[in-house]
């Protein structure tokens, strides 16, 4: 069995205070170099930011690492300037981040990496083009989660393969194995005996195949980041010594250590070099480890990821427009990449979060960037005596609103869709299955969390109507448990567009999850075989077929983790529908850092398909309770326009 290992260095690690960085280099990074010098060739990955910090604190470590690289005892693995979750950021940021990471490697290490470690193993098909454009020859990506949704042969895991991009391009992929690296962590922490560990590892390998013996953080050995109360207790024996014992024993048993780039020779093996899709409709953005580690972790939880990501998007839009990436504007892009670091969005200390937010706000000031909100009023003539259903028609759309359910959309259609209703409400009793025995509305909100009642806007209201040359606007105000909501549905007169607008005035940022803008397809009017959704996850548009699929991105993982998947929506839109007609749903303010979630279930009499947009989810990184400024006043909205389908 052939073995390789990649250690991930990250001095931006969320729960490591800046004053502990010298200790981390001493206790974690120097032992790693000594391990490589002892004859165990290793891949060592570090972001550009981490390399800069090490250079400033301990230049001798940099000199020793460069010497090991020159002697082929170690290999530099790249990733980018910051540890950014690629599927959550616009393409221009991914390009800048990978470019700046390459520049940092050349400047500090005089090295150009061949292999990129996919940050947090968060993958999307749209990232392939970025890695190729930056000059990488391969990527290091998790095997277990993509394989969970695929029908691959067992041999796939032992050899490098090719990951497909969006336009026919591909890039070689070396496999990381989450449970394999977790086993080494457990042995190093004294939770496994040597025989237990060896029996597990040797039971996985093949004579001619490869096994990634490690592919994760270096900072957890002989150091504790103190993220959790029940973290493994540091034993007296050095954990790096235990790792060396494992490596020595494996070598003595005939298993050969090689540098990661040597794995690429396996592309020519009969079981290597297959063209694979690592994403699918149910898992559009696979991530490493168990499902509680999913994309919502860096999008919508933490201290206030939605706020941070929205301001980052606003700055990005201004940079794209006025400060394109080049040497003259490099520092602005470097700052944005720093502020989009994943570690600012998880267990980050309060001090470091405040410093990063201040830095981001300064960049926003320099670029004249701001997070806009749509402006609308609850005003007009009161409508009464109309019954529950209110029908409105313009040259652009026909809409029926349910005034007994907070202006939920009962039916909506467009002339280009032959005036056939495309989305709306599937009423109780529509589906034959008892577990779908509910009303499935469009245009509503759901907020739910521990210790509070479930909040929705599905209340009986008396609507107000306001008409002008451009729109017909129906609006209302609704009392929620947590405060108040102003809501409006705006039907354009001369274009095919329907807007749904919300203004929240809550006592504090709501705990738990907050999901708005639900759109339920009326699939009885569509060919089931042509159902699909499309969106951008950090790159070009990706298209996912729904025929025969059953999944729910918004499914909770546990009481503490509120969702399982999500869509980056990095072009601020989702297309959802069928081959004959589809809808394009977009936030009215593209800076807002929503992620999309799709639910699809095969049911009778037609498939159940809907999309929603989340501004907050919950996991163990979420900061509970109100902030020092407890009021949560926020306005947003979505536009729904017809799409020709595909």
Please write the tens of the pLDDT for every residue from 29-52.
Answer: 999 999 999 999 999 999 999 999
The mean pLDDT value for 635-645 works out to 94
Query: What CA–CA distances, in Å, run from 173 to 136, 149, 503?
Result: 11, 17, 45
Predicted confidence at residue 205, as pLDDT, reads 73
User: Residue 627: pLDDT above 70?
Assistant: no
Q: Tell me the torsion sign for CA atoms 517, 520, 525, 530.
A: positive
Domain ranges of the chain: 2-292, 305-367, 381-643
Going from the C-alpha of 358 to that of each of 351, 355, 491, 617, the distances in angstroms are 11, 5, 40, 24
With 70 as the cut, is the pLDDT of residue 231 above it? no
Q: Look over the chain and give the mean of its residue pLDDT values, rounded to a whole number.
A: 94
pLDDT at 15: 81
> Is 80 exceeded by the pLDDT of residue 185?
yes
Return the structure tokens found at 123.
Answer: 């993958």
Cα 520 versus chain centre, distance: 23
How far apart are the C-alpha atoms of 215 and 10, rounded to whole Å? 13
Identical fold between 2-292 and 381-643: no
Q: Which is higher by pLDDT, 604 or 628?
A: 604
Q: Confirm if 277 and 170 have CB atoms less than 8 A apart.
A: no
Confidence at 230, pLDDT banded by 50, 70, 90: very low
Percent of the chain with pLDDT over 70: 97
Q: Supply the pLDDT for residue 233.
A: 52
Residue 416 scores a pLDDT above 80: yes
pLDDT above 70 for 235 = no
Candidates 1.25.40.10, 3.20.20.150, 3.30.300.180, 2.70.98.10; CATH matching 381-643:
2.70.98.10
Mean pLDDT for 260-278 is 95
pLDDT of residue 607 exceeding 80: yes
pLDDT band at 555 (very low <50, low <70, confident <90, very high): very high
Using DSSP's 3-state secondary structure scheme, residue 621 falls into coil
Tell me which residue of 509, 622, 513, 612 sits closest to 562, measured CA to CA.
Answer: 513
Does the pLDDT of residue 480 top 80, yes or no?
yes
Give the integer Cα–Cα distance in Å for 333 and 135.
19
* Residue-level pLDDT at 91: 98
**Is the sign of the CA dihedral 86, 90, 93, 99 positive or negative?**
positive
Residue 295 pLDDT greater than 90, yes or no = yes
CA distance 146 to 144: 6
Once rounded to an integer, what is the mean pLDDT over residues 294-305?
95
Q: CA angle at residue 288 from 253 to 38, to 5 degrees?
A: 35
Q: Who wins on pLDDT, 472 or 224? A: 472
Q: State which fold the 2-292 domain adopts.
A: 7-stranded beta/alpha barrel (3.20.110)
pLDDT at residue 98 is higher than 90: yes
């Amino acid at each position: 069995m052939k073995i390789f290992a990649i250690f991930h260095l990250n001095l931006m690690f969320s729960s490591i205070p800046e004053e502990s960085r010298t200790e981390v280099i001493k206790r974690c990074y120097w032992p790693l170099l000594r391990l490589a010098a002892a004859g165990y060739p290793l891949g060592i990955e570090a972001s550009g930011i981490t390399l800069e910090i090490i250079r400033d604190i301990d230049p001798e470590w940099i000199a020793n690492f460069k010497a090991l690289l020159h002697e082929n005892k170690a290999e530099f693995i790249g990733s980018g300037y910051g540890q950014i979750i690629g599927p959550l950021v616009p393409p221009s940021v991914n390009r800048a981040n990978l470019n700046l990471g390459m520049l940092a490697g050349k400047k500090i290490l005089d090295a150009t990496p061949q292999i990129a470690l996919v940050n947090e193993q968060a993958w999307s098909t749209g990232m392939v083009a970025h890695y190729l454009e930056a000059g990488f020859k391969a990527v290091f990506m998790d095997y277990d989660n993509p394989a969970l949704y695929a029908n691959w042969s067992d041999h796939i895991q032992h050899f490098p393969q090719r990951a497909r991009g969006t336009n026919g391009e591909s890039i070689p992929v070396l496999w990381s194995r989450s449970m394999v690296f977790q086993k080494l962590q457990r042995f190093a922490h004294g939770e496994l005996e040597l025989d237990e560990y060896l029996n597990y590892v040797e039971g996985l390998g093949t004579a001619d195949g490869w096994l990634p013996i490690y592919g994760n953080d270096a900072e957890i050995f002989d150091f504790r980041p103190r993220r959790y109360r029940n973290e493994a207790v540091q034993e007296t024996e050095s954990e790096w010594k235990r790792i060396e014992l494992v490596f020595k024993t494996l070598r003595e048993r005939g298993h050969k250590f090689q540098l990661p780039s040597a794995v690429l020779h396996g592309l020519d093996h009969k079981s290597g070099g297959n063209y694979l899709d690592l994403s699918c409709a149910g898992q559009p953005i696979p991530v490493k480890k168990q499902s509680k580690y999913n994309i919502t972790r860096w999008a919508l939880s933490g201290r206030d990821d939605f706020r941070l990501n929205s301001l980052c998007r606003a700055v990005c839009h201004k940079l794209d427009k006025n400060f394109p990436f080049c040497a003259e504007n490099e520092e602005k892009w470097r700052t944005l990449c720093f502020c989009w670091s994943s570690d600012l969005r998880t267990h980050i200390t309060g001090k470091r979060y405040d410093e990063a937010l201040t830095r981001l706000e300064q960049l926003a000031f320099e670029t004249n960037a701001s997070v806009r909100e749509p402006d609308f009023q609850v005003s007009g003539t009161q409508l009464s005596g109309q019954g529950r259903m209110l029908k409105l028609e313009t040259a652009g759309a026909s809409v029926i609103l349910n005034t007994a359910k907070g202006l939920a959309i009962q039916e909506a259609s467009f002339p280009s869709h032959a005036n056939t209703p495309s989305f709306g409400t599937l009423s109780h009793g529509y589906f034959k299955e008892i577990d779908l025995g509910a009303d499935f509305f469009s245009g509503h909100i759901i907020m739910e969390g521990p210790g509070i009642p479930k909040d929705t806007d599905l209340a009986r209201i008396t609507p107000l109507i306001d008409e002008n040359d451009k729109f017909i606007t129906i609006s209302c105000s609704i009392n929620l448990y947590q405060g108040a909501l102003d809501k409006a549905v705006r039907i354009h007169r001369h274009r095919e567009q329907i807007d749904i607008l919300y203004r929240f005035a809550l006592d504090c940022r709501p705990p738990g999850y907050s999901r708005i803008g639900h759109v339920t397809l009326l699939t009885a009017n569509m060919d089931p075989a042509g159902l699909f959704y499309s969106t951008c996850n950090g790159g070009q548009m990706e298209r996912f077929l729904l025929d025969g699929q059953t999944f729910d991105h918004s499914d909770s993982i546990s009481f503490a983790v509120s969702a399982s998947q999500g869509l980056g929506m990095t072009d601020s839109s989702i297309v959802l529908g069928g081959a004959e007609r589809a809808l394009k749903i977009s936030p009215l303010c593209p800076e807002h850092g929503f992620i999309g979630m799709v639910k699809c279930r095969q049911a009778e009499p037609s498939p159940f398909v809907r999309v929603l947009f989340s501004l907050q989810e919950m996991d163990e990184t979420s900061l509970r309770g109100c902030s020092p400024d407890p009021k949560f006043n926020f306005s947003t909205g979505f536009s729904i326009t017809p799409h020709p389908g595909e």
